[in-house]
């Protein structure tokens, strides 16, 4: 069987993670990459021996005969690049967040359906050993009905690329919530069985990024840009209500005076789960009349590798069900939109999906 030919849009930090996983497989290869930055592109091309490079993804799509496209560009370009790749008949793995808003995500979902190709999102936490283990327990029914979840991702000083596109609302769509909160909302919603969201009540803060001269940090994802904008949230908190009566609390920070941490708690009427993706899982239960915990032993795959394995399998076999498809991207984006709207308006807002 010939290898699936992938094009990557964007050659930056996360594109390299994708290139490594794609080239590590025997049935997939990176055939081309597009990025307007010659320097970034050259480094990625050299590192992974990519045979063709372009400064525009439109040229890449026109000239290369690609089966799949990975979209790994700043958030504002997710929808345009994904729509162009879908239009060219390619299957797309688009990085998170799905888009800038639910309207864009809906257009991406609709076009993937129309073209009969796969659209997956880079929500790799769904592929961690903890998520797989949790899903097995949840699907068994032994935790009963999940009626509440609380999930938090705290960074003490973890603003990415301060002053770059990451902290520019027009390009990123938001801050901590859309950048890292998105992973936790998605994972929690997925494990809860994807109930229909109906409302969100939220607050958002910006206390650290707006003072770059006093921002005291040890390391940073991406490069800071002196004097660049910061018009996004560095902490957001929301309560989301679902049609089935269930609820989710989410708290996410890029920077706050609290310790780093990431944990998800799910409460069912017969049992519960506590986990941190990539780290641990504990089942909260009762056993033989005692209040007891189960600490399962489980495999811990690299979630990026597992996400590519799943995507390639779904491209090769159209009968397989995608774990993160266009509809889920639209629902997730609708939740994010409602959280930002609620924080801006200072009141609960409804969600219709
Ligand atoms: N799944 C994850 O855990 C994870 C982690 C990090 C980043 N991401 C996502 O990946 C995306 C990229 O993040 P990054 O950290 O790699 O950013 P980055 O800034 O390192 O790289 C982005 C690259 O895109 C290029 N670019 C900009 N506009 C382009 C266009 N129109 N066509 C082609 N290339 C273009 C830039 O020149 C840059 O090289 C973001 O959406 C981010 O949210 C996901």
For 65-88, write each residue's pLDDT tens digit.
999 999 999 999 999 999 999 999
Q: b/e for 228-256, b at 16 or more Cβ within 10 A?
A: ebbebbbbbbbbbbbeeebbbebbbbbbb
Q: What is the pLDDT of residue 349?
A: 98
Same-domain check for residues 270 and 252:
yes
For 284-298, write each residue's pLDDT tens digit.
999 999 999 999 999
Query: Is the bond preceding residue 143 a cis peptide, omega within 30 degrees?
Result: no
Tell me the pTM.
Answer: 0.97
User: Does 12 sit in the ligand 1 pocket, CB within 6 Å?
Assistant: yes
Over range 324-336, report the average pLDDT: 96
pLDDT higher than 90, residue 212: no
pLDDT higher than 90, residue 255: yes
CA atoms within 13 A on the CB side of 320: 15
Same-domain check for residues 44 and 161:
no
Q: What is the rounded CA–CA span in Å between residue 193 and residue 196?
A: 9
For 171-195, write each residue's pLDDT tens digit.
999 999 999 999 999 999 999 999 9
pLDDT higher than 90, residue 318: yes
According to DSSP H, which parts of 317-353 are helical?
Answer: 326-345
CATH of the domain at 37: 3.40.50.720
According to DSSP H, which parts of 8-128 are helical?
Answer: 13-24, 38-48, 57-63, 78-87, 102-115
Structural domains counted in the chain:
2
Interval between CA 8 and ligand 1 midpoint (Å):
11
3-class secondary-structure state, position 251: strand
CB within 8 A of 261, min separation 6: which ones? 152, 153, 154, 276
User: Does 175 sit in the ligand 1 pocket, CB within 6 Å?
Assistant: no
Same-domain check for residues 281 and 317:
no
Over range 163-174, report the average pLDDT: 98
18, 56, 80, 95: residue to mutate for ligand 1 pocket, most atoms within 8 A of CB:
95
Q: What is the rounded CA–CA span in Å between residue 306 and residue 323?
A: 11
12, 37, 164: residue to mutate for ligand 1 pocket, most atoms within 8 A of CB:
12
DSSP class of residue 216? -
Identify the band that residue 250 occupies on the pLDDT scale cut at 50, 70 and 90. very high
Interval between CA 143 and ligand 1 midpoint (Å):
39
Same-domain check for residues 121 and 139:
no
Q: What is the pLDDT of residue 210?
A: 86
Helix (H) or strand (E) holding 30: strand 28-34
Same-domain check for residues 86 and 109:
yes
Interval between CA 141 and ligand 1 midpoint (Å):
39
Same-domain check for residues 202 and 278:
yes
Q: Mean pLDDT across the chain, nearest whole number?
A: 97
pLDDT higher than 80, residue 128: yes
Q: What is the rounded CA–CA span in Å between residue 263 and residue 58?
A: 40
User: Does 84 sit in the ligand 1 pocket, CB within 6 Å?
Assistant: no
Ligand 1 atom closest to the Cα of residue 122 is 1
**Residue ranges making up the domain that contains 281:** 128-300+332-350
pLDDT higher than 90, residue 1: no
Same-domain check for residues 185 and 200:
yes
DSSP class of residue 178? I
Same-domain check for residues 170 and 72:
no
Residue of the CA atom closest to atom 19 of ligand 1: 12
């Amino acid at each position: 069987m010939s290898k699936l030919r992938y094009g990557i849009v964007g050659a930056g930090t996360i594109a390299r993670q994708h290139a490594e996983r794609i080239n590590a497989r025997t049935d997939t290869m990176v055939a081309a990459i597009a990025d307007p930055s010659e320097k970034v592109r050259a480094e990625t091309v050299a590192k992974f021996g990519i045979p063709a490079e372009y400064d525009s993804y439109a040229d890449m799509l026109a000239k290369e005969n690609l089966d799949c496209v990975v979209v790994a560009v700043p958030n504002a370009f997710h929808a345009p690049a994904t729509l162009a790749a879908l239009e060219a008949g390619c299957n797309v793995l688009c990085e998170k967040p799905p888009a800038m808003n639910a309207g864009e995500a809906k257009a991406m979902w609709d076009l993937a359906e129309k073209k009969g190709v796969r659209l997956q999102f880079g929500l790799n936490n769904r592929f961690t050993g903890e998520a797989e283990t949790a899903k097995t327990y949840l699907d068994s029914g032994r935790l009963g009905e999940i009626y509440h979840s609380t999930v938090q991702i705290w960074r003490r000083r973890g603003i990415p690329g301060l002053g770059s596109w990451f902290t520019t609302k027009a390009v990123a769509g938001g801050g901590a919530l859309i950048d890292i909160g998105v992973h936790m909302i998605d994972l929690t919603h997925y494990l809860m069985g994807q109930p229909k969201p109906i409302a969100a009540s939220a607050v958002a803060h910006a206390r650290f990024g707006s003072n770059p001269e006093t921002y005291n940090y040890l390391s940073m994802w991406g490069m800071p840009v002196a004097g660049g904008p910061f018009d996004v949230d560095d902490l957001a908190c929301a309560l989301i209500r679902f049609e089935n009566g269930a609820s989710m609390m989410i708290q996410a920070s890029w920077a706050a005076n609290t310790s780093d941490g990431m944990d998800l708690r799910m409460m069912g009427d017969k049992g519960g789960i506590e986990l941190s993706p990539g780290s641990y899982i504990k089942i909260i239960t009762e056993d033989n009349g005692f209040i007891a915990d189960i600490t399962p032993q489980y495999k811990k795959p690299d979630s990026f590798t597992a996400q590519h394995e799943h995507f390639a399998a779904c491209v090769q076999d159209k009968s397989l069900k995608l774990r993160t498809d266009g509809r889920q991207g639209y629902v997730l984006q609708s939740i994010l939109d409602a959280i930002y709207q609620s924080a801006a308006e200072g009141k609960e807002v409804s969600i219709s999906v």
